[in-house]
Amino acid sequence: MIVLGLLLVLATGAFVAIAVVENFSGGPEFAVEIFGNQIATLSAPGLFLSGIALTLIFCLGMVLVAAGLKQRRRVRRALATASAASSTKEPGAAPSPTSHRRRGRHIFGH
């Protein structure tokens, strides 16, 4: 998930940077060219809406990166707690009452 998010963020940033650098012509319609190839002709509202779409794709990439990092941190913490509990636990000892607690949202008392 982290790799996919980084890919989205970097691809969106590169596309925007190349499109801005290569398109300094003004006028009522904007010809969007990348590496000498015209990919679209946009009016001002179309240009604005394409900017919004690129921003949403960029934000989706950032959300994927954040979610991946959160999941990675949660898994590492769970593995560290499990290994610490297994190394300090005596054979035949009763489990502690706090070992079965779950963190997070409880729905309908469960």
Measured CA to CA in angstroms, residue 6 lies from 1, 3, 29, 56, 69 at distances of 9, 5, 32, 14, 12
Distance, in Å, from the CA atom of 50 to the CA atom of 63, rounded to the nearest integer, reads 20
Q: Which residues pair with 69 in a beta bridge?
A: none
Of all residues in the chain, what percent carry a pLDDT higher than 70?
75
pLDDT above 70 (res 67): yes
Segment 36-59, tens digit of pLDDT: 888 888 887 888 888 899 999 999
Residue 78: both structure tokens together? 């769970």
pLDDT above 70 (res 91): no
Which tops the pLDDT comparison, 70 or 99? 70
Q: What does the pLDDT average to over 79-94?
A: 72
- Is-contact 99 85, C-beta < 8 A? yes
Give φ, ψ of 29 to 5 degrees. -125, 145
Q: What does the pLDDT average to over 64-76?
A: 92
pLDDT above 60 (res 105): yes
